[in-house]
Amino acid sequence: MAGALEASLSELLGFSIFEGLSKEQILELCQGGQILTSSHRDVLFPFGREAHFFGIVLSGAYKLTKPSPLGEDVIVHFSTPGDVLAAFIMTQPKPRFPVSAISMGPSRFLKIPKEN
């Protein structure tokens, strides 16, 4: 997958989170990462599942949903290219996804292991 990551480097360089970093620094930060491709309505991760990764939306969009007290999914956000998903929970001892991420059409996501 290193080749796929390197192929996406030009996209990553355009995201504000990597502003000021060299290509080598970005590759080091994303070491072990995988590019996931989703079709419409594919679930990237479900609400409540143990989180072993975080990542960055490369293309397309993901709707983030959370179950309401009545059990219906409520949209809390739409994530688009450059958005970082689930990074803030990685510092927890046993992180769980606080939302579900569902693809809104063809989308790509850089999945980065928690260990990074």
Kindly tell me if the per-residue pLDDT of 34 is higher than 70: yes
Contact 99, 76 (CB under 8 A): yes
Kindly tell me if the per-residue pLDDT of 3 is higher than 80: no
70's torsion region: left (phi>0), alpha (psi -120 to 50) or beta?
Answer: alpha
Kindly tell me if the per-residue pLDDT of 112 is higher than 90: yes
The yes or no reply on domain 34-113 and CATH 2.60.120.10 is yes
Question: Considering the entire predicted model, what is its pTM?
Answer: 0.91
Percentage of the chain beyond pLDDT 70 is: 98
Tokens at 45, concatenated: 């991760």
Q: What is the pLDDT of residue 116?
A: 77
